[in-house]
Chains A and B, each alone.
Chain A
Amino acid sequence: MTTALGSAAEILRAAKIVEGVVGNAWATDADGRFIYVTPDALTFLNLTLDDLNTPPEEGSLGWKRVIHPEDYEAAAATWRHSLRSGEPYNVEHRMLLANGAYGWGRSTGQPLHDGLGRILGWYGTVIDAGVSTSADNRPSSQTTDAPVHDAASNTPPLNLVHPHDRPAAEQAMARAFWHGIPQIVSYRRRQADGSYRWAELRAEPGYAVSVDVDPMVSKPGERWATSDTLGETVEAVRGARAVEGLFGAAFAFDPSGTFTYATPIAQTSIALTLEDLNEPLSVNSFLDGGDLGWKRSVHPDDYEDVAAALRRCLRTGEQFHHEWRVLRTSGQWVWHRFAVRPTHDTQGRITGWYGVGIDIDVYKKTEAALRERERELSQLIDMVPSHLWRLSPDGEPTFFNKRMADFLGMDAADMASPGMSRLDRLIATVHPDDAAEFGNALNRSLASGERFAMRYRLRRADGVYHWMSSRAEPLRNEEDRIVQWYGLCHDIDDQVHAEDALRESERSLRQLIETLPALIYCAAPDGKPIYRSQQLREFLGFNLEDKDEGARSRLVGTLDAIIHPDDLAVVKERYGHSLESGEPYALQHRLRRSDGEYRWVETRTAAMRNAEGAIVQWNGVCFDIEDQVRAQEELRLSQESLARASQAASLAELSASIAHEVNQPLAAVVANSHACQRWLNADPPNLERAQKTVERITRDANSAADVVNRIRALFRQSAEARTGASITGVVAEAREVLTEEALRRGARMDVAVESGLPTVRLDRVQIQQVLVNLIRNGLDAMNSLAGPRIVSIRARRSEEMVRIEIADRGRGVEFPERIFEPFFTTKGDGMGMGLAICRSIVESHGGRLWAEKNEPQGAKFIFTLPIEPDATP
């Protein structure tokens, strides 16, 4: 029990200390049962100590009554947790005040341990956070009633603050409370006579409500608080008290450095009493290099400097400002900044010193962190693989990062040179070809505030120019005035060179496409033409956009304009199919040239696909195949002619028909002639019948002549069909026709055509008929020949004629002229028409056909054809 009572006294003492600092305090036993609460606070909350220990209901806490329902559960849970774990208690919550309003407050609590680490109990305080509530609601009873010792010793109740300054004061206190950073604000404080005087308020975090240290320091005879004899330091102590009011702690010492006053908090925080502080550690006085007890509170590494600085100040009377590490009772070294001023008497003699030490540990650490951050930032700025620069609002370079300085070979500061502005100097580092534009663009931006962006060549320290991509933007202040220009300058030299190479490569490719001897085009996936090579543009005589009129698409417009009407349907169908299916397109059709002529072309188009296989473009090529098509057409016609020529090979059959036609009237003539003769020879002569028969003879003979004339006409009428042709080709075709037949008959043809024969205007089919007929005659003539059966065919130029000879080794021709008469034949089965027709054909061509004896044996048929007047070999 004694232990419990002893521990209660211990806790109570702790609470009392807190109460002295903060103005209110509480204490509980280890189980959380309240044993003390500052009486003013109980009044303020309209509670008794018993109320706090009496749960309003089972399982809840006594103070539930005064905690806002929304905050209670969290606060209660935290409190229980602290009781269990021994962790400090720190909760913000709204509290029900005596006036019935809720105000924000912060409750903090600490456990107190015995020597074995057991929790003896808890002590803590409630700090009023309701700074933004009206002054009347503030729990400021202590301060409003307390006597004001010093203008700055207490945080003033707001009703003492000039109404105009209240918002600032309130905000300062609020900031101090919430951010934990002491705030100092100037305000006009109302004096007892109702006048206002300027004063300063230091708003401490957590202390914003009231800090009244007066009772502690004003206790007379508190030997460890104040020196027995203040002596001349009375003034200094008064200064210290004033400072104490501001900063919570202060001290005073006499001109020899002997402490005469120290705020108990300051003393306890370094665990030294005044005696301890002043305890001589050596025989010499402090001024003579001796050390005093406070040395123990100074970090050994800092002490010599501190002592030397202080001695100097004591001698010179200079204000003392120094930072060092102070030993806390917890054993930690904590950075403090000390400021000490002397006090003087009316003669100006120093009567004492007063000062304060402020905990700057966080600041020190923050400073180090800041310095580290700054170092990192500047490292970042220098390490960024780019040039960073900064200009003043009028364009003077004020900063280059290291890379830029290295590149230029000079720092921003080096830019200053006589007779030249820094800006001009900067412009001078730009390639002469770009400098004017660079200067203009930069000046324009400086004047307008618009963003600067440009590519230019910048001279490196070694004189080599590099392409740069540069940008700068202004930084504006709250008044929208430009404060700085920040710029980024990126070396794009490699990129520019790569782009140049790419452009060159593209130009070369384009040139390749433009000069390829083909018509090239590209189309979008839907077939819309998007590119035509120069050759195609020239061929068509118009370009892409020229067909974009009206409702028709460019594709339809283009097709309608350039495709031959007969081919349009199939082109559209096939092209449409390709566009739909993605299959390649290939078609021959007629394409309209710019002069209106349709030319045969072959168009081939294939799809170009991306990595996913989707069609991105159609690429097409178009060849002019007009000549090819014409050649094919001629070849086809020639083949047709050949077929007709092979029909002409049955000229014998033709002549048989002709013979029949002629034989009929001839037979009639013969019969009639004989009959006529009989009628005349009769006795008496039957003149009447004879007369009649003669008429018939005339009639039928004419009929026979007509047949021959008709045949001749038949071969003459084809004069228009004549074309300039090579006799070589015609001979070759005739030979082709008869090759098989000659083989069958054991004969061969020996062809020799003089090279470079001029063209002859002829009807190919008819001349083939002549050749075939003559060659076949030659074969026929050698039917019974034992020796080699050879028909030799020779063609050569003879003056203005081409002379063709067909020679055989047969029996020869008995009647070289008569054989050309119709119906004259030397063959057992011949009709005698072939040679007559051949001669008709040759003569109709303006040539001649005749027969000669061949040497040493056989017959030779020769025909000539006139050379075209303007024909060249």
Chain B
Amino acid sequence: MSSRRNTVAIVDDDPRLLESLADLLESAGYEARTFSSAGTLLAGGLLDLDLLITDIGMPGTDGFELRGMVTKERPDLPIFLITGRHEIADQDRARDHSGFFRKPFDAQQLLAAVAEALNNQEGEDET
């Protein structure tokens, strides 16, 4: 874990969220990359990413669609979904997903979840 910092990509159309999430992740020692839409993320490629956090309600490609596309390319990549719309959170496809947060989320929990996801991945890599 010390050899290199894990890179976390964040996709949200609200710049305040991008800022705050990047700040939080950086304060926890991760390298944060922020994207204002699914499109900009996909344009930059997914190879050097260790984790993806994406908003669901976005103009254009929404969070669910982005997850589908990314999973196709990087099935191993942990993806967290966050949303401010609670009715979306109540939907089944959101409920079933472990990495799902409602805004406003508990920052401590989010960081713990991120760490856990990355550790699991490393563990898998080691085995």
Contact = CB atoms under 8 A, between A and B. Distances in A.
Interface in A651-678: 656, 659-660, 663-676, 678
B44 to A, nearest CB: 23
Nearest to B103: A667
A664 B16 contact: yes
Contacts of A670: 20, 104-107
Contacts of B21: 671
Contacts of B28: 678
Contact of B20 (A672, A686, A831): A672
Contacts of A665: 16
A263 interface: no
B17 A674 contact: no
B122 interface: no
Contact of B104 (A669, A692, A703): A669
Contact of A674 (B82, B85, B90, B107): B107
Interface in B82-110: 82, 84-87, 90, 102-108, 110
B24 interface: yes
A682 interface: yes
Of the listed residues B14, B23, B85, B90, the one surrounded by the most CB atoms of chain A closer than 10 A to its CB is B23
A672 B23 CA distance: 7
A693 B23 contact: yes
A447 B110 CA distance: 134
A700 interface: yes
A666 B104 contact: yes
Interface of chain B, helix or strand or loop or mixed?
A: helix
Contacts of A831: 86
Interface in A283-331: none
B86 A696 contact: no
A672 B103 contact: no
B45 to A, nearest CB: 26
Contacts, number: 90
B2 interface: no
Interface string A220-252: 000000000000000000000000000000000
A185 to B, nearest CB: 143
Nearest to A674: B107
Interface string B1-44: 00000000000001011011101101110000000000000000
B16 A663 contact: no
Contact of A671 (B23, B85, B90): B23
B116 to A, nearest CB: 17
Contacts of A476: none
A829 interface: yes
A100 B110 CA distance: 167
B86 to A, nearest CB: 6
Interface residues of A, number: 30
Of the listed residues A659, A670, A689, the one surrounded by the most CB atoms of chain B closer than 10 A to its CB is A670
A829 B86 contact: yes
Interface in A672-706: 672-676, 678-679, 682, 686, 689, 692-693, 696, 699-700, 703
A818 B19 CA distance: 32
B69 interface: no
Given A664-B17, A668-B19, A829-B86, A689 B103 contact: no
Interface of chain A, helix or strand or loop or mixed?
A: helix
Contacts of A671: 17, 20-21, 23-24, 105, 107, 110
Contacts of B107: 670-671, 673-675
A671 B85 CA distance: 17
Contacts of A699: 16
Nearest to B90: A829
Contact of A667 (B27, B82, B87): B82
B85 A672 contact: no
A696 B85 contact: no
Interface string A335-372: 00000000000000000000000000000000000000
A760 to B, nearest CB: 35
Interface in A15-44: none
Contacts of A664: 14, 16-17, 84, 103
B113 interface: no
Given A659-B84, A667-B105, A675 B24 contact: yes
Nearest to B25: A675
A793 to B, nearest CB: 28
B74 to A, nearest CB: 25
Contacts of B105: 667, 670-671
Contacts of A667: 17, 20, 82, 84, 103-105
A308 to B, nearest CB: 155
A700 B20 contact: yes
A692 B28 CA distance: 16
A656 B103 contact: no
Contact of B103 (A663, A686, A692, A696): A663
A831 to B, nearest CB: 6
B56 to A, nearest CB: 11
A675 B84 contact: no
A676 B23 CA distance: 8
Contacts of B27: 674-676, 678-679, 682, 686, 689, 693
Given A663-B103, A663-B104, A668 B17 contact: yes
A871 to B, nearest CB: 42
A354 to B, nearest CB: 160
Of the listed residues B24, B90, B105, B111, the one surrounded by the most CB atoms of chain A closer than 10 A to its CB is B24
Contact of A668 (B16, B87, B108, B111): B16
A288 B16 CA distance: 178
A667 B28 CA distance: 17
Nearest to A663: B84
A654 to B, nearest CB: 12
A691 to B, nearest CB: 12
Of the listed residues B17, B27, B87, B110, the one surrounded by the most CB atoms of chain A closer than 10 A to its CB is B27
Interface of A: 656, 659-660, 663-676, 678-679, 682, 686, 689, 692-693, 696, 699-700, 703, 829, 831
Given A672-B23, A696-B23, 12 more contacts: A664-B17, A664-B103, A666-B103, A667-B17, A671-B23, A671-B105, A671-B110, A675-B26, A682-B27, A696-B19, A696-B20, A700-B20
16 contacts: A656-B87, A659-B84, A659-B85, A659-B86, A667-B105, A668-B14, A668-B16, A668-B20, A671-B24, A671-B105, A672-B19, A672-B24, A674-B24, A675-B27, A693-B20, A831-B86
Ranked 5 nearest A-B pairs via Cβ? A674-B107, A667-B103, A678-B27, A663-B84, A671-B20
